[in-house]
Structures are given as structure tokens and as C-alpha cells.
Amino acid sequence: MPMLEPTTGIKIRVELFGLPRLRSGRREVELLLPTEVSRQEVVRALAEACPALVGQALREDLSDLQDGYLFNHNGTTFLSGDRLSFQAGDALLLLSNQAGG
Amino acid sequence: MYGYHGKVLIVNLTDQSYRWDTVAESALRSFIGGIGLGTYLLYKYCPPGVDPLSPDNPLLFVGSPLVGTRLTTSSKFAVLTKSPQTGFIGDSLSSSFLATELKKTCGDALIILGCAATPTLLYIEDGHPQFLDATEFMGLSTSEAERAVKEKMGDPRVRVASIGPAGELLVKFASIANDGGRQAGRCGPGAVMGSKNLKALALRGYKEVDPAEPEAIREYGRDLSRRSLGAATEKYRDLGTMANVSVFNRLGALPTRNFQQSTFEGAEQVSGEQFHQKHLVKNAHCANCTIGCEKILATSDGGEKASGRVEYESLFALGPLCGVADPNMVIRAASLCDELGMDTISAGATVAWAMECFEKGLLTPEDTGGIDLRFGNAEALLAVLDHIGHRRGIGNLLAEGSRRAAAQLGQGSEAWAMHVKGLELPGYEPRSLKTMALGLAVSPRGACHNRSSAYEADFSTQVDRLKVDETRGRIAAEKEDFEAVLDSLIWCKFLRKAFNDFYQESAQVYQMITGWEMTPEELKRAGDRINTLKKLFNVREGWIRADDTLPPRVLHEKLPTGVVAGVGLTKEELDYMIARYYQARGWTGDGLIPESKLAELGLLEYVPSRERVGPT
């Protein structure tokens, strides 16, 4: 799969929580993405912008998130499926799927 | 018999007698162990209508078939009693080596009845109770009491459960501490222990129970331990449950200032990430656990040193719920609750209720003894917690919990007493977690996140957490049944995503331990049976449909901040979900249980006909 052209698309903000935040030392990562994008393209763009996440929250082969993680759109909607849609300024939250307390 | 003893030890503190009762194989299979077996035993041994703080209310410590197998997370026990907070079934789980000694010396359960004439240490060695004077231990904190009991017994392998000053003084949400600071926290079992004049329980036993297939268990155990260190438990191993704070805050699910908001401007300061970087002393493990979710934290400011376990529920209740953003003070507050022997959720929630009363002028400095009991005042939080644990001043009112305190104070303060059935809400905002709202409303023990993991659906792609729909009743019932099986075998909840197929694997494990055939379907039915018997217990104690509800604030006020600003939950929406829940359970529209359902679950033999209040 070809890498995304980093100079095209809209800006979205990926917010990091928990271990991804600690491991990467970053609270958020900015990505340039098309408005319609596949899940794998998001993972690959995230890996390029924040390599510390590879093998941690992102699978080594960049095919998807690791099993213990999921995406949330703008703090309201948990994302499933392969096709994702964004608007400029959107936030994508990278979260653990373990909510027990 | 493999996996079980087939008998329970019954001790009467009043006349210092004891006896062994047998438990039929059919009951063991039907109710498994832990919470399930405890529910069966409580239903059997608790006289209907008993005052929770009277001698006749039994206090149960219940083991499980997994205890002693050395499977990861298996060293757990259940504590059951009629709750002094709710007047309904009260159950707590705890995890420590007390579980293994319990099984070695008390059979499948210990049932404590009566009331000692003087403060007592109940020491049970190899099935023989001794009633020892505990006068010298009275007033000691939980850790002091445990140390003193161990010294007195002269045996470091004795395992101890004790109450602190809060239990002695019948604080309604007093906990039972055990084995190095573990807590059976919810529903007030420490108050029941205190009402029996029982300061401490010390156990030492030698009777191990063999599993039917020891080599198969060992092999399975190795595989499960390996899986327990995978992605399914990563959050718990690394940051622990405290990781919830920053996530819940972002999602508008972090109860703040007595549930007036669901976001907290100080969340970052008390986030799991901050505690991990600035306060973590070490990771710790429960007995026989490979996960190690426990985080031992220490203060780092110039104030009085404190350290101890802090997990999400203690953190939310003593932090954002009280408007406190100072991590050092949260550590101190959690440690203080543990030493006094108080449930951190109910303690924090009751103080939060009082803070709101203070800010609204219903409580004055005269009432509080000069304490400026405003949200965010961490010094005031510590002072009031100490007052509660010793029933001093304003603490005497708050020691009753938010429901009774509000009833006593009146002036409309019932509207912000955040409890269900008398048990204070845990750290999951119901308005922005609609499935959890239902789980909290219908839980037999009151507002509870452990017997209902309905929140799991809300934090997933399974549902839209901000909307109500017809699926929630089925989801909540299924989650409750799942938790009932988990809590009866007893597995740790944090292991739940490490199973490939929970029911399939658990049925196999049960069979390997007991030698009795078990199917996944039979286990699922056991979950339904256990929850149904809990409900029957509550119905016998006076449950009515109106008890399944949420606090008025949740049903009348919309959330004001964050991504969930403007989100609420109406009574009509909640009632709709409750109706779907009763339907999913096969209950009547009023939440009663038809005899046909009892027959379907094999419960008729355990429930006298006079107690079958549903339609035939």
C-alpha cells in the first residue's frame, strides 16, 4: 500500500492516553489525511508521525491497532469498520479497550 | 470430592459454639462458589427481615473451587451479609492469601453468627475455632491490628482479616481489611463484623483440596498465565486502573463535584499518567496473580508521608468527586480510609454530598466544627474522613452514608445524595454511559460497577453510549450473568479479555478441578440463577420496583461540560431500559420472578413456596 502524501489532505489531531502517551512522550500527534481514509492508512500515517507507537499500540506490520486498543472519534463515537471519515480539526482518540476500574 | 470440601464451618460468637454443615453436590454445582455459593448460603442462613447489625445477621467468608489451584488470579474470596447500607444483599470480593487459608481451615465457607460479649479475635486453626480476647486491639487501625494479631499468634503464616475504628464504631460503609491491606470494601461488611464485637479473624489451615486433574490444571495454568501478560491486560499492568481518569475525563464520563459535572479541570494532575511518573513506588500483585495491577504510590511533597494502594475508584471518589486535584492529598485520603477501614467509594461520595450541602448553606461551619467543607479543599476532606472513621462531630452524621445522612438533614439534600438502594455510585457517569446507567439502577447490591460490567458495552463499538435503545436490557443482563460466573469461580475481572472463549474455558477448568461434567451453557445458566436468587433475597427483604432507579440528579440535570454537554437521561428512558431488562431476564413488568422462571433455573428446591412472590 502506498504511503500517504504528507502535504495533502486535512489536519486531524490524534490524542494519546495511557501507555502510548508515556512511551512516546507526546500527548497528541497531528496527521494530514484525506477526508475519506482506510483504517490501515490511519495506522500507517500514525506510525510515520510517531514511530514509538509501532509494536506498542500499533501492530508491527501496521495492519491495524493492537488488540488492546481502539479509536474514538471526537470523544463521542467509537470507530469500527475499515472506512473512516474526517473533517478538518477532528480529534481521533487512541484508547485502551480496557475500561475496568 | 475434588475442588470442594462439601461442608461449611458455622461459628456462633454468642455461645462460642461451632458446627459443620454439609453442602449438597447439587448446590455446589448450581452456585459454583464465591458470590454464587455465598448468595445461596446467605439466602439459607439469613433470617428474613433481620436487622443487619443484629447478632442474627450472618457474616460469610466464602471460597471457591479455584482457590488452591495456583491458577493466576485464583486466590479470591467473597464476603456476604445483609448490608447495613442497603438492607439488601451485600457482597464484596477480596484477593489475598486469606483465601487459601480460608479454604484450608473452614471448608467451603465460614459463616459467623451471633455477637461476642467482649471484643474478640476469632482464631481458627485446622477447623477448630478459638475465641480470644481482643480488648488490647480495639482502636487500632487495620494495619496495626493485623500486625498485632500476627505477633500474638506467633505464626507469620497466619492470615488476618480485621476491622479498623470505623468497623468498631459501626460506620455503615466500614470495610474488612485483610492480609496486608486488601479490602472487602463495598456494602459495609466491616460494620457487621463490628456489630458482632469481632475485631479480627485469624486463619491457619492444613487441609488442601486436590483437583481432579492436577496435571491438566498445571498445563492450562501455564497457558493462561502467558495470556495474562498479553495485550488484554496491558492497561492494568502498566498504569493500572488509574489510567481511566484522563480517558473518562475526555469522554465526559468522570464524575466530578458530586456528579454535578462529568469533566474535571484538574484531571491531568490526578491522572494515571501523572501518578505513574511522579508517585509510583512499585507495582504489586494480589496473591497468585501474574497481572500485577496494583500500584503502590507515595506522596512527594513536603507534608506528612503517606503511601499505599490507589486504584481508579479510590482516586475518582477522593479526587474529582470532591473537587480535589492534589495527588498527594488523594494518596493520603486513600491511605486514611484503608487504615480506618472504610470503603473509599462510599466515603468519598458521602463527603462530596456534604461538600455540596456546605456550599448550598445546608451545612454550616458550626455543623462541621469549623471545617471549610468546600469542593477542592483537600485538608477538609482529610479532616472529615478522620471524623467519620471515629464518628466525631459531623462525622457521626456522615458515617451513616449519603442516603441516611440526607434523610436526616432533609431540606432537599436527598436530590444530590448519589446512591442506588443506599450504595453510593462508582466512577462511571450514568448520563454519558447509558448501558451502565441501567446496570447501576438494577444491580441487586446497589450502585455497582463490579457485579455489572455494562460499561464495557459503552466503551466499545457495540452501542452508542449517549443514546438509549432496546438492546440495553439484554446487554445488561448478559453482562451481569457473565460477572456472576466470573465472581463465583472466582476469576479476576481484569483477566476477562485474556480468555479465548470465557464460558468454554471456564467450564473445562471447572471440570478439571471438580471432576464434574460442566458445559458452557450450564455455566451461563448458573449466572442467571445466581442473579435471580440475589433478586429473590432482595424481594424477601422488601424490594419494590421503585428501588430500581437512579438518583434524582441523574434523571433531572443535564451534563454541563465537555463533549457530553447537554446530554441527560430521563426517567422515561431509564424505565424503558429497565422494562427491557426485566423482559430479558424473564421477569414480570414489575420486576418479580414467575415460578416458571424459578423452575427453569432449578431454583424451586431452594425457595420455599411462601417466598415465591411472582405469578405462577
CATH number for the domain spanning A53: value is 3.10.20.30
CA A72 to chain B, closest CA, distance in angstroms equals: 9
Q: Are B452 and B116 in contact (CB under 8 A)?
A: no
Residue A4 lies in a domain: no
And the C-alpha cell for B156?
507469620
Phi and psi, residue B294, nearest 5° = -70, 135
Q: Which residues of B touch A77 (CB under 8 A)?
A: 464
Shortest distance between the Cα of A70 and any Cα of chain B, in A, equals: 8
- Alpha-helix residue ranges (DSSP H) falling in B229-271: 234-238, 244-251
Relative orientation angle of helices B502-514 and B214-227, to the nearest 10 degrees: 150
- Residue range B86-102: mean pLDDT, rounded: 98
Q: Is pLDDT larger for residue B474 or for residue B235?
A: B474
**Chain A residues in contact with B234 (beta carbon < 8 A):** 19, 68, 96, 98
Q: Does domain B7-204 have CATH number 3.60.9.10?
A: yes
Sheet with strand A91-96: strands edge to edge = A28-33, A10-16, A91-96, A69-73, A77-78
- From A68, A75, A77, residue closest to B235, measured CB to CB: A68
Is A14 part of any domain? Answer: yes
Is residue B614 predicted with pLDDT exceeding 90? no
Q: B250 vs chain A: nearest CA distance in angstroms? A: 6
Q: Provide the edge-to-edge strand list for the sheet that holds B89-95.
A: B17-22, B7-12, B109-113, B59-62, B76-82, B89-95
Of the partner residues B238, B311, B459, the one whose CB lies closest to the CB of residue A19: B238
Residue A17 domain flag = yes
Residues of A in contact with B461 (CB under 8 A): 70, 78-80
CB B272 within 8 A of CB B243: yes
Asked whether residue A5 carries a pLDDT value surpassing 80, the answer given is no
Question: CA A90, CA B31: separation in Å to the nearest integer?
Answer: 49
pLDDT at residue number B265 = 98
Residues of chain B neighbouring A92 (CB-CB closer than 8 A): none
- Helix (H) / strand (E) element for B195: namely helix B189-195
pLDDT tens track for B361-386: 999 999 999 999 999 999 999 999 99
Mutate to test the interface with A, among B242, B246, B344 (most CBs of A within 10 A): B246
Which pTM value belongs to this model?
A: 0.97
pLDDT of residue B232: 87
Chain B contact for A28 (CB, 8 A cutoff): no
The residue segments making up the domain with residue A78 are 10-96
The per-residue pLDDT of chain B, averaged, comes to 97
Bridge partner list, B113: B12
CA B509 to CA B506: how far, in whole Å?
A: 5
CB of A67 within 8 Å of a chain B CB? The answer is yes
Say yes or no: do domains B7-204 and B433-589 share a fold.
no
pLDDT at residue A4 is higher than 60: no
Check pLDDT > 90 for residue B23. Answer: yes
**pLDDT (tens digit per residue) in A21-79:** 999 999 999 999 999 999 999 999 999 999 999 999 999 999 999 999 999 999 999 99
pLDDT value of residue A7:
55
Q: Is residue A22 part of a domain?
A: yes
What's the mean pLDDT when you consider all of chain A? Answer: 92
CATH pick for B433-589 out of 1.10.599.10, 1.10.10.60, 1.20.1250.20, 2.40.50.100: 1.10.599.10
For an interface test with A, the pick among B459, B464, B482, B559 (most A C-beta atoms closer than 10 Å) comes out as: B459
Minimal Cα distance from B460: which residue of A? A78
Tally of domains in chain A: 1
Give the separation between CA B471 and CA B576, rounded to whole angstroms.
11
The CATH class for the domain spanning B228-424 reads mainly alpha
Q: Where are the domains of chain B?
A: 7-204, 228-424, 433-589
Does residue A1 belong to any structural domain of this protein? no
Look at A98 and B251 and tell me if their CB atoms are within 8 Å.
no
- CA angle B124-B338-B325, nearest 5°? 165
Contact (CB<8Å) B243/A77? no
Query: At B613, is the pLDDT very low, low, confident or very high (cuts 50, 70, 90)?
Result: confident
pLDDT in tens, B198-230: 999 999 999 999 999 999 999 999 999 999 999
CB contact under 8 A, A67 and B231: yes
Q: Which residue in B247, B486, B567 has the most chain A C-beta atoms within 10 A of its own C-beta, making it the best mutation to test that interface?
A: B247
Residue B409 one-letter amino acid? L
